[in-house]
Amino acid sequence: MRKFLRSTIILIVLFFSGTIATEAQLAVKNNLLYDLTTTPNLGLEYGVGYRSTVSLVYGLNPWSFSGGERKAKHWVLMPEYRWWLCSRFNGHFFGVHALGGEFNAANMNIPVPGAFFGGDNLRSGVRDYRYQGSFLGAGATYGYQWILSRHWNIEAEVGVGYAHVWYDKYACGECGARLADGGTNYFGITKFGISFLYLF
């Protein structure tokens, strides 16, 4: 499964890297709401047409808390295609995005708005067990971008979609034998952010 996930992510990155046009405008962005979850993140967005852009966002949370017992460690990669109603980097946009990554979470209250079905409910299960695994999904996005100055914008976005989660379930945060392995499905919020952008 991990080989499949890595291969899929590499293909997505190669696809988007090949779409950069010579007249492309580049923006570097950071999602402030994602930062509040102690997850540093960085995104790049390229203009590939008058009303279209492609984006790639990476987030990484490598930390444990309370002596290693509480954690929501993960990395995620989210490529996206956006279509703008006015012109790129200005006003309303709609998009389609993919997401993939790996996680290791335990003893956390994770307020994920959405539903798990067909397996463990990770929202409640992560309070009592440690889950480690990977996920892959896709969704649709709506957002709006405000121009602050020639080089600075602010953006609000929300995305809804589906992800399949493969996991191993353990008894405690740091140790313990594997209790089960399996998969579950998630449908709900897949993106949510308020981001600052610097445009080149």
pLDDT top residue among 7 and 124: 124
Q: pTM here?
A: 0.83
Judged against a pLDDT cut of 70, whether residue 149 lies above it is answered with yes
pLDDT band at 84 (very low <50, low <70, confident <90, very high): very high
Q: Is the pLDDT of residue 97 over 80?
A: yes
Identify the pLDDT of residue 23.
46
**Residue 164's domain is classified under what CATH number?**
2.40.160
Average pLDDT, the chain: 87
Residue 134 has pLDDT above 50, yes or no: yes
Task: For tokens 């709401």, name the residue.
Answer: 33
pLDDT average, residue stretch 70-88? 95
Q: How far apart are CA 76 and CA 144, in angstroms?
A: 23
Q: 118 pairs with which residues across the strands?
A: none
Tell me how many degrees the CA angle 2-131-176 measures, rounded to the nearest 5: 110
User: CA-to-CA distance for 87 and 84, rounded, in angstroms?
Assistant: 6
| More reliable by pLDDT, 94 or 106 | 94
For the chain, how many structural domains are there in total? 1
Give the integer Cα–Cα distance in Å for 117 and 1: 20
pLDDT at 125: 76
Look at 68-72, 111-115, 147-151, 162-166 and tell me which has the smallest mean pLDDT: 111-115
**What's the rounded Cα separation, in Å, for the pair 145 and 161?**
21
> What residue numbers bound the domain in which 128 lies?
2-199
| pLDDT, position 12 | 58
Amino acid at 89: F
**Count of positions (residues) in the chain:** 200
- For CA atoms 16, 40, 159, 131, the dihedral sign is positive
pLDDT average, residue stretch 83-105? 96
pLDDT tens, residue by residue, 9-42: 665 555 555 444 434 499 999 999 999 999 999 9
pLDDT value of residue 142: 98
Is 160:143 a contact under the CB 8 Å cutoff? no
pLDDT at 115: 80
Rounded-to-integer distance, Cα 41 and Cα 39, Å: 6
Percent helix, strand, coil in the chain, to 5, is: 10, 60, 25
Which tokens sit at 194? 């308020």
